[in-house]
């Protein structure tokens, strides 16, 4: 086992971690405001991927156009899902919201199968993306670089948004105390819609990147990444945006490294590792890596 082997796997882990981070952030945002565990979040990722493919194939537009279109469309769908499925449940208990999100997830997946067929579809991108840079024995594709820098860029943008803008600060206020936020004159519905839009847009980026990386997409492609992003959000400390990003990278890196370092016969247990990591983290830090233990609000 050489150093280059480990570095190569670290790079793969960072690329996977970026995708988990993108999805986990949206997951964490809506959880922090509504205490909603949104299992439909992963399906938004799938919608984004399909939207990008349709834009790129139908109009022969480049990847960036597909990416932008996917973000906008997913944001719109995210806001619509919130309006239709979750807003009527404002004030309902967490279990009701969780079950609703499962229903939304099943609905979106089946709608996908009915409209775009269950057959996987090719996701073709330019050759330039798969170009490999060789540094000694290590190779890095443009794809990996794009995923990483795009993710970092989006996280920075989001950080600026929540610290520097009026709406962003209002969002953080809502995630802490909804009643007090209303007393300030903050319209909760607007903030929630905005959180859904941002989270869905980021999930769409993850969807496009997943599609571009594996070269194919299908209506159920969002399920596993959605579940793992949930795990990433919990590892990082659910409700915390930096926590979700950190959790994504911790999970992506450890998943890849465990597969790489353990004997090949165990690589089939890849998804089990994810939950193993979760259990270990929660045993040591029950609130997650960056989480704050808070009393249940009455």
Partner 1 sequence: MLELNGVDIYYGNIKAVKEISLKVEEGELVALLGANGAGKTTTLRAISGTIRPRSGTIVFKGLDLSKVSAHNVVGTGIAHCPEGRQVFSRLSVLENLMLGAFLRRDKKEINRDLEWIYTLFPILAERKKQSAGTLSGGEQQMLAIGRALMSRPSLILFDEPSLGLAPLFVEKIFEVIRYLKGEGKTILLVEQNAYHALEVADRGYVLETGSIKLSGTAGELLANDDVKKAYLGG
Nearer to partner 1, 60 or 297 (CB): 297
Q: Does 292 bind partner 1 (CB under 8 A)?
A: yes
Q: Does 280 bind partner 1 (CB under 8 A)?
A: no
Distances (CA, A) of 11 to 144, 148, 207, 249: 8, 10, 19, 11
Closest approach of Cβ 163 to partner 1, in Å?
9
Closest approach of Cβ 121 to partner 1, in Å?
43
Nearer to partner 1, 169 or 282 (CB): 169
Closest approach of Cβ 297 to partner 1, in Å?
11
Closest approach of Cβ 175 to partner 1, in Å?
8
Nearer to partner 1, 169 or 220 (CB): 169
Nearer to partner 1, 211 or 236 (CB): 236
DSSP per-residue letters across 118-172: SS-EE----HHHHPEEEETTEEEEHHHHHHHHHHHHHHHHHHHHHHHSHHHHHHH
Closest approach of Cβ 20 to partner 1, in Å?
24
Q: Which of 297, 45, 18 is nearest to 178 (CA)?
A: 297
Q: How many CA atoms lie within 13 A of 114 on its CB side?
A: 6
Nearer to partner 1, 128 or 180 (CB): 180
Q: Which of 174, 209, 171, 27 is nearest to 101 (CA)?
A: 27
Of how many residues is the chain composed? 298
Place of tokens 């400390």: 237
Considering only residues 172 through 201, tell me which ones interact with partner 1, judged by CB under 8 A.
Answer: 172-173, 176-177, 179-188
Nearer to partner 1, 238 or 256 (CB): 238
Q: Is 88 exposed, middle or buried (0-12, 13-18, 19+ CB in 10 A)?
A: exposed
Considering only residues 112 through 171, tell me which ones interact with partner 1, judged by CB under 8 A.
Answer: 166, 169-170
Residues at the contact surface with partner 1, assessed by CB under 8 A: 166, 169-170, 172-173, 176-177, 179-188, 292
């Amino acid at each position: 086992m050489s150093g280059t082997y480990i570095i190569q796997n670290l790079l793969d882990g960072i690329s996977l971690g970026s995708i988990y981070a993108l999805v986990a952030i949206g997951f964490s945002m809506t959880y922090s405001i509504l205490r909603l565990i949104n299992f439909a979040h992963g399906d938004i990722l799938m919608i984004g991927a399909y939207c990008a493919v349709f834009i790129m194939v139908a109009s022969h537009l480049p990847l960036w156009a597909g990416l932008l279109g996917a973000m906008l469309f997913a944001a719109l769908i995210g806001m619509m899902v919130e309006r239709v499925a979750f807003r009527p449940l404002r004030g309902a208990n967490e279990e009701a919201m969780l079950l609703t999100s499962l229903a939304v997830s099943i609905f979106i997946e089946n709608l996908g199968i009915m409209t775009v067929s269950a057959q996987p579809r090719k996701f073709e991108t330019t050759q330039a993306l798969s170009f490999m840079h060789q540094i000694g024995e290590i190779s890095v594709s443009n794809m990996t670089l794009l995923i990483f820098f795009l993710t970092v860029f989006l996280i920075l943008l989001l950080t600026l948004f929540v610290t520097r803008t009026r709406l962003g600060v209002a969002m953080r206020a809502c995630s802490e105390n909804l009643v007090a936020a209303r007393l300030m004159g903050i319209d909760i519905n607007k903030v929630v819609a905005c959180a859904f839009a941002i989270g869905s847009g980021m999930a769409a980026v993850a969807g496009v990147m997943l599609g571009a990386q594996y070269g194919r997409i299908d209506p159920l492609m969002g399920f596993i990444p959605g579940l793992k992003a949930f795990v990433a959000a919990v590892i990082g400390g659910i409700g915390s945006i930096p926590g979700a990003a950190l959790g994504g990278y911790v999970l992506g890196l450890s998943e890849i490294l465990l597969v790489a370092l353990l004997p090949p016969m165990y690589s089939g247990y890849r998804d089990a590792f994810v939950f193993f990591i979760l259990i270990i983290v929660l045993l040591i830090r029950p609130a997650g890596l960056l989480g704050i233990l808070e009393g249940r609000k009455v």
